[in-house]
Amino acid sequence: MKTYSIALIPGDGIGPAVTEAAWQVVEAVARGADFTVHATRLPWSCDHYLETGAMMPEDGVEILRGRDAILLGAVGWPRKVPDSISLHGLLLPIRKAFRQYANIRPHRLLPGVEGPLRKSEFDILCVRENTEGEYSGAGGRVHQGTEDEVAVETAIFTRKGVERILRFGFEQARRRRGKLASVTKSNAQRHSMVFWDEVTHELAREYSDVEVTSYHIDAMAARMVMAPETLDVVVASNLFGDVLTDLGAAIQGGLGFAASANLNPDRSTLSMFEPVHGSAPDIAHLGIANPIAAIWSASMMLDHLGETDAAARIMQAIEAITARGMGTVPGEHKTDDITRAVLTALH
């Protein structure tokens, strides 16, 4: 029987609660299937940083290598550790080290979830570049604290990086409804974003079966609210994709419903699965974090591992409980009650 070795990084705030919920669901679905799962729980978090001086050990990436996947909760607790340290010490280096260049984030309303829009028919797959662009980390500060202070943060767009994320988007569009929206800001940023538009047009010739439209990020933000039903696959750079996917989360009812996969599409190394949301310090100790985003992310993990039936069973269980109003209104149900309901629906 196939066994999957999964690294669990619960992290901070609501991370541990939602990761534990997702893991319970993974274990339950595995019991009824022909594979087993094994978890290695890694305590890497802001508390770990305060204890050891590092978010993860020096050989953290090596510890993860060799697992089949990573399931992560959330990282960051800005009152204890600056975000610029915690995220650059854990989440962001993992995405880069394992070349998880495609961050895919589905935005659709689960049955029973109303969302803030008056329309409900949309099904968007955001494909976010995940290893370069505005998150490249190139830059620096000089004359700190003086009136001559300078801060430089250079966005880096490589042909390899832009082409592979767009190609991934085109492939997704082919498998879905055949529409690709490429998002830039090439009217203002005339180097990197014009380059991105050019690569989009080059590839469009190869994927003549896909209907391609280029949008500026500002217009896309409005479209996601006013006409989300016109969108299928949306491809964007790292930072643009980050912002658009919190907007996507909002139109699907909130961050408690937004799942994501950090994929290494060529499968040369492992991928990571995590909800879009962060550690939610404002509700962290109330026991009311919605675990659905994390459970949905776990379903994406099983799907990526090839356990498509188990992945589908999890989605059916989630949809069965939201259809009867369980977990659809923020704060109305406890994390544990929603998790128990999903577990019951699985049987």
Q: Which residues bind ligand IPM (CB under 6 A)?
A: 76, 87, 91-92, 242, 276, 278
Out of 29, 102, 261, 280, the residue judged to bind ligand NAD by CB under 6 A: 280
Q: Which is nearer to ligand IPM, 30 or 272 (CB)?
A: 272
Active-site hit among 68, 197, 246, 336: 246
59 is an active site residue: no
Q: Applying CB under 5 A, does 242 fall inside the site for Mn ion? A: yes
Q: Which is nearer to ligand IPM, 277 or 313 (CB)?
A: 277
How many residues sit close enough to ligand NAD to count as binding (CB under 6 A)?
23
Task: Please list, in sequence order, all residues whose beta carbon lies within 8 angstroms of the beta carbon of residue 76, skipping any fewer than 6 positions away.
Answer: 11, 12, 13, 46, 83, 86, 87, 278, 279
Q: Applying CB under 6 A, does 16 fall inside the site for ligand NAD? A: no
Stretch that binds ligand NAD, among 102-110, 133-141, 233-241, 285-293 (CB under 6 A): 285-293
246 is an active site residue: yes
Task: Please list, in sequence order, all residues whose beta carbon lies within 8 angstroms of the beta carbon of residue 13, skipping any fewer than 6 positions away.
Answer: 74, 76, 77, 278, 279, 280, 281, 284
CB-count exposure of residue 190 (10 Å: 0-12, 13-18, 19+)? exposed
What CA dihedral angle connects 327, 333, 336 and 338, to 10 degrees?
A: -20
218 is an active site residue: yes
Nearest CA to 65 out of 266, 269, 267, 273 is that of 269
Stretch that binds ligand NAD, among 27-35, 76-84, 153-161, 304-312 (CB under 6 A): 76-84
* Interacting residues toward ligand NAD by CB under 6 A: 14, 18, 74-76, 78, 83, 87, 91, 255-256, 274, 277-283, 289-290, 293, 330
Residues belonging to the active site: 135, 185, 218, 242, 246
